[in-house]
Amino acid sequence: MQVFWRELDGEPPSPHEPEPVRAELCRVSLPRFRAFLEKSIHTKAKTRISKPLAYVWNLLADQWEPATSARPGVSYLLDVRAGGYSADLGWVGPAALEHPITPFTPKNAQVANGYAGDPATFSRAWITLAEHTRAVVDETTRLASALVPELVSAFVAAARWHDVGKAHEAFQKMLRGDDPTRSPQLWAKSAQSWRRCDRRFLRHELASALGWLQTSPSDAPERDLVAYLIAAHHGKVRLSLRSLPGEEPPPDRPDTRVARGILDGDPLGPVELEGVSFPTITLDLSLMEMGWDAEREPQRGPSWLARMIALRDHHGPFRLAWLETLLRAADARASAVADAVSPANAQPKPLAMNTLESWGADTADYNLSMLGKPQLYQQEAQRLITLCPDNKSRLDAVLRSKLAFFACPVPPARSPGRQ
């Protein structure tokens, strides 16, 4: 488990408190942190400290809550007044209880991500749904062609539909914010500051998957696999489809089905994208019901759970997870490229002071393994440039091209005689 410290001024953390970056996390064994937490709670009860000193992020409630127990694998936020750390020794626990420390100030950290959160949606640029979808289709086609050529058509369909649910009015309202000039377009990314969606728990990818199942032909190749890939590309909708704790239908529609922020009967569309075109449709959540009477409901088909279990049994859990990862990787790569290139309508961010280089193979496997590294460097306002062995003979030209791509200063060209 890990801990980090923030200056809270004796108040609970704001929901906008940035999530920790790697440089500020301190690893602690579970027994040592449990002893520290128990002693801090006991000490607080005997002193005039009115607020908790340790907090944990509740993914479903989208808020920081007082920590009352220690659990493995969790990151805990401590008020700097809690102490527990020595700059010379690292974690010292109760020995430094209530010895205030100087917190690390993270750069370019994202807001803590709850169940309904999608921080990457609030990038530094306005990107239309059509532009983002086109980029994801290109990345997906390249990855699927190299790794699962027999499923390329299924992956292309999933890429085209993966963010169609962002056309949901509640999601578009969240992206547009108070900017009415953005209304004519459907947006995938917003340059606005991070904000919550008015529709609690809303997962746009579920709306996308429902839209695919309601509009695609019943004999479409790998139809249920495409639905799974769409729904799972953020890792928050998979085998089951049910209401979350605290998720209730509106008072005026008490019998309405609701799941992951989608209400039965929600409108979606109209949508006009390359390979995807439909008028406004009504989302149908009857798939969340168990069982299926083929005579009474011939159009509905098996429940979501039955479809997903059949997929799991056919592909196996590990292959299904790997297939899911390919679309997630393509989506992340397309988003990273769009974030790196700052168009005229982007909100400016400080450029990297230095650029890191690494040598690798120009293969799909290598590119997949490198997926997470650019994100780690971006947290420290740095860019990662990957060079391949084939670039060696024209290194100067390749470096200039990549530096220009990231809008970094490009040094003057070397004369032919210089080394």
Quick check: is 287 in a domain?
yes
Distance CA 289, CA 297 (A): 12
Provide φ and ψ at 405, rounded to 5°: -60, -40
Among residues 189, 214, 190, the alpha carbon closest in space to that of 267 is found at: 214
Q: 297-303: long-range contacts at Cβ-Cβ below 8 A with a sequence spacing of 24 or more? A: 301/213, 301/218
Q: How far, CA to CA in Å, does 266 sit from each of 115, 169, 269, 326, 401?
A: 20, 9, 10, 30, 47
- Which pLDDT score, from 0 to 100, does residue 210 have? 97
| 110: CB partners within 8 A, 6+ apart | 18, 19, 119, 194
Domain assignment present for 413: yes
Beta carbons of 258 and 264 less than 8 angstroms apart: yes
Query: Are 414 and 358 found together in one domain?
Result: yes
Domain assignment present for residue 41? The answer is: yes
Q: How far apart are CA 228 and CA 323, in angstroms?
A: 10
Q: Which helix (H) or strand (E) holds 64?
A: strand 63-66
Question: Which of 334, 339, 269, 337 lies closest to 126, judged by CA?
Answer: 339
pLDDT-flagged residues of the chain (< 70): 42-50, 95-98, 108-109, 292-299, 338-391, 401-410, 413-419
Q: Tokens standing for 380? A: 């420290």
In a shared domain, residues 31 and 166? no
Spatial separation of the C-alpha atoms in residues 45 and 38, rounded to whole Å = 11
Residues 169 and 196 in one domain: yes
In a domain, 314, yes or no: yes
pLDDT for 351: 39
Nearest to 126 by CA among 59, 172, 62, 76: 172
- Cα 104 from Cα 101, distance rounded (Å): 9
- Residue 340 domain-assigned? no
The whole-angstrom distance between residue 262's C-alpha and the CA centroid of its chain comes to 19
**272 by DSSP, 3-state: which?**
strand
Helices vs. strands in the chain: H and E counts, helices first:
11, 17
Residues 229 and 134 in one domain: yes
- Which are the contacts of 313, defined by CB distance < 8 A and separation ≥ 6? none
User: Is residue 112 assigned to a domain?
Assistant: no
Q: What residues contact 419, with CB distance under 8 A and at least 6 apart? A: none
Instruction: Compute the Cα dihedral for 32, 34, 35, 41 and give only its sign.
Output: positive
Structure tokens at 206: 């579920």
What is the total count of domains within the chain?
3
Do 197 and 174 meet the contact criterion of CB atoms below 8 Å apart? yes
Residues β-bridged to residue 65: 56
Nearest to 161 by CA among 205, 121, 218: 205
Given the DSSP bridges, would you call strands 75-79 and 2-6 parallel, antiparallel or unpaired? parallel
In a shared domain, residues 360 and 308 = no
Cβ atoms 327, 233 nearer than 8 A: yes
Q: Cα–Cα distance between 223 and 231 in angstroms, integer? A: 13
For 45, what's the count of Cα atoms within 13 Å in the CB-facing half-sphere?
6
Q: 155 and 8 in one domain?
A: no
Omega before 66 cis (within 30°)? no
Give the whole-angstrom CA distance, residue 329 versus residue 326. 5
Residue 210 within a domain: yes
- Give the pLDDT of residue 350: 41
Its domain, for residue 21, covers 2-96
Look at phi and psi of residue 206 and say left if phi exceeds 0, alpha if psi is from -120 to 50, else beta.
alpha
On whether both 152 and 281 belong to a single domain, the answer is: yes
Describe the crossing of helices 372-379 and 317-340 by its angle, rounded to 10 degrees: 40
Q: Which of 334, 361, 379 is the last residue of a domain?
A: 334
Could you read off the pLDDT of 234-285 as tens digits, one per residue? Answer: 999 999 999 988 899 999 999 999 999 999 999 999 999 999 999 999 999 9
125 plus 90 within the same structural domain? no
In a domain, 304, yes or no: yes
CA end-to-end span of the chain: 50
Helix (H) or strand (E) run with residue 4 in it:
strand 2-6
Would you say 359 and 399 are in contact if contact means Cβ atoms under 8 Å apart?
no
Query: What was the pLDDT predicted at 367?
Result: 57
